[in-house]
Chain A
């Protein structure tokens, strides 16, 4: 189970301000802190804090300042593929592109870029029409992404299918469909593509967000989730990821398994 730390995102006030002021400290603070929490990758998203025309330069700057303090690989999170490419150019370790929907035009832009920079891709099970309601259509989009990976020669393990979880308070019926999608995505290819969720989305604007997040994480991991973009500093949540790892026989049990999980 891979944890993609979500905190370096311009939607958060401190990061947004840091991006506008070109102040590396908050980014570096969260890079280190998320690593300590148990993150394996750091998601990097400028959010709307930076005007579109400055995003290319901003991603290059963000990647550089984060790499000054952290060896963790990065997940470059943007809909602006030029900004992602600028980031990929300066990444020291193989990164992951977040994200590519199942649209031919975007596939043609993103997949060759991933091959060129030895990067992974988060593939979204949606197209221009938006997010499907049921698991059948989600899996159909996943299949298109799997076929694209095969066509472009992207190793299946480098494709992370995101079946797109929505907030449970307004889109409750999606939660079980996403679990079913996670199960079916594993049947699409051998080796199977990996799976990822933007976990915190499930609890948007609900009370007891942490409880919802960690309950859904356990359910999703049991359904085949390999990675989550999530709060790496929610200790209870990271404990759930570590415990699920043990209960699915993916890591060898030891009494100190919580500590072991964080130290890897």
Chain B
């Protein structure tokens, strides 16, 4: 994002000396904004101003990388329909070091199982947060080691004791864990620890004012791999803080808040916790630490995350394989449509309403609708006939009838010839499927 004339002007010395070759600072600011001048020609600009102007051209939220290919931050919009959200929320499961060894191994087993395959997509949990609650530095170090040995996933090491954190971090530094948390009381030790080991660090303060102050102080240690925690632990406060942080970073280019934000669920009831997590995933949390590690709790949250982080400019597609609606049998009707999800689900919904178990084959049209695909040459008889063979419909039904959308009636002859099926031209609108289906058989 280019700087505006006003933003530049505010950083200039306002001497109007003309030494830059432009009569006033205001005019010089405009020349800079339009790229006609270089800041170097001003002999009086301060280092702080130079820094402010340089960093203003950086992305509004820094990308922070850690662990096993976890990338957080680097977002540009407040609403996904404005462009898209880029980096799906990193979900971490909380593991306390006060668990017994048996409990720990059970928890790790459960975390291992958090892999899902659904509608052709694979979801998995991103990492584990080891939390120092035992009060015993040696225990924290040991648990961190056990967790690290038990999973390939990204790690978050969370302790406010620099000594314990260091002991746990040093053997695991090659895994590049995220560490925390640097607070007002310990930030020098913890930020320096992060700096020495080149790992990102969570900066935590109570409220936005305190967070701003602490980030500025921490930046003075010449390190900028930060993740922010505004300290709030109730959903209402956290929602407000997440919104302010994202808005200030993007709309006001407020540099101290130009980092990804981590949120922690607080609800103890798992169903409430997932609701809370859903809010954070929807509203700008770059990472969320969860207590529950039950499959049933996590699948809906991960589905929501996947939905929210899809690119709204790209059409959503369904898998171009043979789908069945209801308890299909060898007499079930066989419909053809496209794999544009809006088209497919319109057809599927109507077929379902007809209460006649049916097969639907969405042709891969790169997620375009029937008429768009037809106009673009992606819904042609050759391609449909091929897909019919590939899906094996001939072995699944004993009839040889295929129903095509009414708008592409013109392909029926060619398709019949190529597929050997009898082509039945269905209604133009899927809303006509219900009455159409009654005329079948």
A binds B: yes
User: Could you list which residues of chain A lie within 8 angstroms of chain B, going by C-beta atoms?
Assistant: 139-140, 143-144, 146-147, 150, 184, 187-190, 192
User: Could you list which residues of chain B lie within 8 angstroms of chain A, going by C-beta atoms?
Assistant: 2, 4-7, 9-10, 26-27, 29-30, 33-34, 251, 253
B2 contacts which chain A residues (CB < 8 A)?
187
Closest A residue to B29 using CB positions: A143
Q: Are B4's CB and A190's CB within 8 A?
A: yes
B30 contacts which chain A residues (CB < 8 A)?
139-140, 143, 188
Nearest 7 A/B pairs, CB to CB: A189-B6, A188-B5, A189-B4, A190-B4, A143-B30, A143-B5, A146-B6
The distance from the CB of B202 to the nearest CB of chain A, in whole angstroms, is 30
A189 contacts which chain B residues (CB < 8 A)?
4-7
Q: Are B6's CB and A140's CB within 8 A?
A: no
A147 contacts which chain B residues (CB < 8 A)?
6, 9, 26
A150 contacts which chain B residues (CB < 8 A)?
6, 10
B7 contacts which chain A residues (CB < 8 A)?
189-190
Q: Are A143's CB and B10's CB within 8 A?
A: no
A-B contact pairs, 9 of them (CB 8 A): A143-B26, A146-B5, A147-B6, A150-B6, A188-B4, A189-B6, A189-B7, A190-B253, A192-B4
Task: Give Cα distance in the complex from A143 to B24, angstroms.
Answer: 12
Task: Give Cα distance in the complex from A140 to B28, angstroms.
Answer: 10
A143 contacts which chain B residues (CB < 8 A)?
5-6, 9, 26-27, 29-30
A144 contacts which chain B residues (CB < 8 A)?
26
Q: Are B26's CB and A188's CB within 8 A?
A: no
A187 contacts which chain B residues (CB < 8 A)?
2, 4-5, 33-34
Task: Give Cα distance in the complex from A126 to B30, angstroms.
Answer: 17
B253 contacts which chain A residues (CB < 8 A)?
190
Most buried by B among A144, A150, A188: A188
Task: Give Cα distance in the complex from A46 to B57, angstroms.
Answer: 48
B26 contacts which chain A residues (CB < 8 A)?
140, 143-144, 147
B33 contacts which chain A residues (CB < 8 A)?
187-188
Q: Are A140's CB and B27's CB within 8 A?
A: yes
Most buried by B among A139, A143, A184, A192: A143
Most buried by A among B5, B10, B29: B5
Closest B residue to A146 using CB positions: B6
Closest B residue to A156 using CB positions: B6
A146 contacts which chain B residues (CB < 8 A)?
5-6
The distance from the CB of B78 to the nearest CB of chain A, in whole angstroms, is 14
Closest A residue to B25 using CB positions: A147
Task: Give Cα distance in the complex from A144 to B2, angstroms.
Answer: 20
Task: Give Cα distance in the complex from A189 to B253, angstroms.
Answer: 13
B29 contacts which chain A residues (CB < 8 A)?
143
Task: Give Cα distance in the complex from A188 to B253, angstroms.
Answer: 15
A139 contacts which chain B residues (CB < 8 A)?
30
